[in-house]
Amino acid sequence: MHKQTDTAMPPSTLSGLKALVADISSGKAQIHLGGRTLRTLAAMVADPHHTAVSPIGKLAENHQVNASTLTRLSQRLGYTGFAALQQVFRRHISDRSGFYSERAGRLTAETGQDPTTQLIRRIGGEELSNISAMLEELDPVAIEAAAAIIAGAPHVCIHGARQSASVASFMAYALAMLRNDAALLESQQQGVAHGLAQMADGDALVLIGSSPYTRATVAAARVANEQGIQIIALTDSLASPLAANATHSFITPTAGSFYSNCMASSAVLVEILLSAVARRLEQRAVSALNRHEALIAALDIQI
């Protein structure tokens, strides 16, 4: 007997799938998926190259679900089965020269070298793959729109917890070199609530985080959205609770052999965003950097 699906016309492109994931996550779609299934779909969309070439059994193993889960997911989305869903990913990569996952695979292949050399190649290759996957899906229009917000908002705060705190600190430091009124949300460890209390409608909040998400970061996204604060999310999935409340979301893959989340793609994205901000600010950015250099000289900081 034919199983009733939630949609008669499933997306035929990866961009369509991305939009569908965002709509499901925000509750706008008629399709409803469980949290784990939605996270699996978002992870597949975030890594189209791997999804396109992996057998269903291997893909299920990587995402820690059963192969039958991927079949049911495909049918829920309106496809006849997993093969039809996978074809969307295969079409996406077929026109592109250079297959990043394949390159990373060559870097990480066992070569009979000593364990440390293998570790260097494996971790380095995985981070190269994460950066390449992020760049492949990066929308220049979205970068310019986010840069305009960061450059023009009256006040900009950046927040990331646990491992993401290091990326947030880097971004806050570098942004403060370009403009005033830019800082970490938890300045001087005063807490997220105190930081949000200093922000107003029209300000901007950059949130950085990936699974497992901290309650404080997710709550900050929700509360900031309710206050009319513009949110830019750097996160690992379209199904991320940070993306659900964001004005602009950018996906930074974090997969790899490192015992925690891999952060290289997040750091590179911060550099891209802030470079776009500097270009937008033009002479104001140059003047700010000149003042910064003058203060360093006056304080005799550098050796």
Q: Tell me how many domains the chain contains.
A: 2
pLDDT digits (tens, 9 = 90+) for 172-198: 989 988 888 888 887 555 677 777 778
Question: Is the preceding peptide bond at 55 cis, omega within 30 degrees of 0?
Answer: no
Q: Torsion angle, CA of 184/189/195/197, rounded to 10 degrees?
A: -170
Looking at the whole model, is its pTM more than 0.75? Answer: no
Residue 5 has pLDDT above 70, yes or no: no
Please name the helix (run of DSSP H) or strand (run of DSSP E) that holds residue 235, with its range, or none.
strand 230-235
pLDDT surpassing 60 at residue 111 = no
Q: Identify the three-state secondary structure at position 184.
A: strand
Predicted local distance difference test score (pLDDT) of residue 129: 84
pLDDT digits 0-9 by tens, 252-268 = 988 777 878 889 999 99
67 with 56: CB under 8 angstroms?
yes
Q: Contact at 8 Å (CB) between 107 and 124?
A: yes
| CATH code, domain with 56 | 1.10.10.10
Which has the minimum average pLDDT: 14-18, 141-145, 174-178, 295-299?
295-299
Overall average pLDDT of the 231-237 stretch: 90
Nearest to 209, CA basis, from 178, 231, 183, 179? 231
SS3 call for 181? coil
101 or 250, which is more confident: 250
Q: Are residues 77 and 153 in the same domain?
A: no
Residue 9 lies in a domain: no
pLDDT at 94: 64
Euclidean distance between CA atoms 83 and 55, whole angstroms: 10
Residue 214 tokens read as 């901290």
The 10s digit of each residue's pLDDT in 47-100 is: 777 788 778 988 888 888 999 999 999 999 999 999 999 988 888 766 554 444
Q: Is 126 exposed, middle or buried (0-12, 13-18, 19+ CB in 10 A)?
A: buried
Say yes or no to pLDDT of 281 above 60.
Answer: yes
Last residue of a domain, one of 94, 113, 148: 94
Containing structural domain, residue 155: 140-299
Please check whether residue 109 lies inside any domain of the structure. no
Most confidently modeled range among 90-94, 115-119, 133-137, 226-230: 226-230
Q: What CATH number is attached to the domain comprising 279? A: 3.40.50.10490
244, part of any domain: yes
Beta bridge partners of 136: none
**Cα angle value 267/271/274 (rounded, 5°):** 130
